[in-house]
């Protein structure tokens, strides 16, 4: 299978490229500097030149707080860019697998969100990602949207890296919120499932996030324990932190499709630490 990966230099995109190559696929990897997905003509040319069987779109505007201040820029990438790829893919007879987010939900649920649940984003980031979903799914029923949550991987900024960085800097205590609960997702595990969905030929909406759930506070405790570093994790709230963009209180994703389940988030953390030397040192 020939796979085109826009956003290939990002945290998720780099793992998609690595996993695809390891499976023996022919990969066309394009970083943001090599393909601006907001440029309609550039997208058309890149998709035509790649002659791929499938596109796995990892290009995204992921600065949640930045999107709150500049929704126009976020929309250009997350919605318009996704639409450009979907339309170019359809014109060339290529399937698109597009990555979306738990932020398309309002975060008020008490059980895992599944694919058929009603969306109601509360942030600019969530609105732009939902716009991308609509653009992709309106273009072709063959295209797929894969929602995930709380991504962490070795090739980009993420919560695990932030916590380990604090430990390396000598912090003995860190305050982390207890009122946001979700599914930490290791990017290599998500990459595996994205390629499975790409190979399956199925379209529609999929949820793929690390199995299990925890709060950010519990995740931080698990990180320090797994890395064998002594950092005390105290409790705080989202209101106390006062971030510009609202975060969903409940970001737990489930699925109505039994074949897209990812390994437990704890396994992802173990794999992440193994790739990064196993500790905060």
- Residues with catalytic function: 125
Q: What angle do CA 61, 120, 7 make, to 5 degrees?
A: 20
Output the six-digit token pair for 280.
């905060």
Give first-to-last CA distance, the chain, whole Å.
40
List Cβ neighbours of 40 (8 Å cut-off, separation of 6 or more).
84
User: Which stretches within the chain are classed as H helix?
Assistant: 11-22, 40-50, 64-69, 71-75, 82-92, 124-139, 159-168, 187-200, 216-227, 238-241, 265-275
Q: Is 4 helix (H, G, I), strand (E, B) or coil?
A: strand
Identify whether the C-beta of residue 52 lies closer than 8 Å to the C-beta of residue 4. yes
List Cβ neighbours of 274 (8 Å cut-off, separation of 6 or more).
none
Q: What is the C-alpha separation between 52 and 105, in angstroms, rounded? A: 32
């Amino acid at each position: 299978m020939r796979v085109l990966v826009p956003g290939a230099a990002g945290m998720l995109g780099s793992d998609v490229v690595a996993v695809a190559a390891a499976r023996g696929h022919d990969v066309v990897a394009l970083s943001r500097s090599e393909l601006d997905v907001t440029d309609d003509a550039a997208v058309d040319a890149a998709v035509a030149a790649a002659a791929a069987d499938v596109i796995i779109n990892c290009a995204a505007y992921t600065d949640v707080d930045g999107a709150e201040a500049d929704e126009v820029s976020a929309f250009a990438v997350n919605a318009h860019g996704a639409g450009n790829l979907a339309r170019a893919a359809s014109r060339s007879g290529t399937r698109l697998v597009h990555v979306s987010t738990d932020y398309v939900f309002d975060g008020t649920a008490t059980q895992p969100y599944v694919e058929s649940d009603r969306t109601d984003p509360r942030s600019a980031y969530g609105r732009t990602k939902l716009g991308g979903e609509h653009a992709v799914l309106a273009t072709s029923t063959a295209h797929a949207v894969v929602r995930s949550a709380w991504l962490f991987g070795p090739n980009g900024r993420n919560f695990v890296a932030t916590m380990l960085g604090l430990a390396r800097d000598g912090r003995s205590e860190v305050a982390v919120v207890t009122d946001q609960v979700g599914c930490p997702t290791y990017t290599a595990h998500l990459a595996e499932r994205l390629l499975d969905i790409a190979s399956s030929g199925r379209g529609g909406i999929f949820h793929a996030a690390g199995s299990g759930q925890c709060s950010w506070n519990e995740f931080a405790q698990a990180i320090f324990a797994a890395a064998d570093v002594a950092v005390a994790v105290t409790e705080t709230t989202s209101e106390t932190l006062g971030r510009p963009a609202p975060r969903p209180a409940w970001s737990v994703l489930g699925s109505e499709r039994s074949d897209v389940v990812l390994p437990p988030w704890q396994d992802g953390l173990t794999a992440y630490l193994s790739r990064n030397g196993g500790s905060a040192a």
